[in-house]
Structure 1
Amino acid sequence: MTKDGEPFVGKSHGEDFTRVTFIPDLDKFKMSELEDDIIALMSKRAYDVAGATKGVKVYLNGKLLPVRIIMIKFGLFENSSM
């Protein structure tokens, strides 16, 4: 949060997409690793985005989160809203 670098914008080979990655500044918060509750919070946010955003694929740790499909199956979203 105190250091920033130049963004990397690479050439696309295939579908258009946006990848967002980050490296936490553990020293800033006097941590040696991310705590489980912080990882759980970040994971929840990824699921929130996957469930609330149509037309995007959300991956967490390299795995696709099929949240919208599950929500439609259980009647939390109408299929036409996808």
Structure 2
Amino acid sequence: MNTIKHIHEVIFLIENNNEQWTPEELVEAIGDTWGTDVQFGSCSGTTFPKENALEFLLNRQKVVLSEEGKVALHSSMKICNGHEDFVG
């Protein structure tokens, strides 16, 4: 059975390790942290595998890639409300 976490957990992971990882290293760090079969849920109810977490966050302007190709939080990133009841 897959572990399901809220996508905000990835934001917190990035925040704690800002500009440390390339996209590939981020996927590896996610797997090391929550397991290789982890999936993520969003506030809208969408669920997706760890390999799609970065694309999801880039599309919603929560993270950016630095000039060095490292994952960083977007300077104006805000976490939405309402995920407190998410069970994962």
TM-score by length of 1: 0.25
* Relative contact order higher in (CA < 8 Å, ≥ 6 apart): 2
Structure having the higher strand fraction is 2
Structure with larger Rg: 1
TM-score by length of 2: 0.23
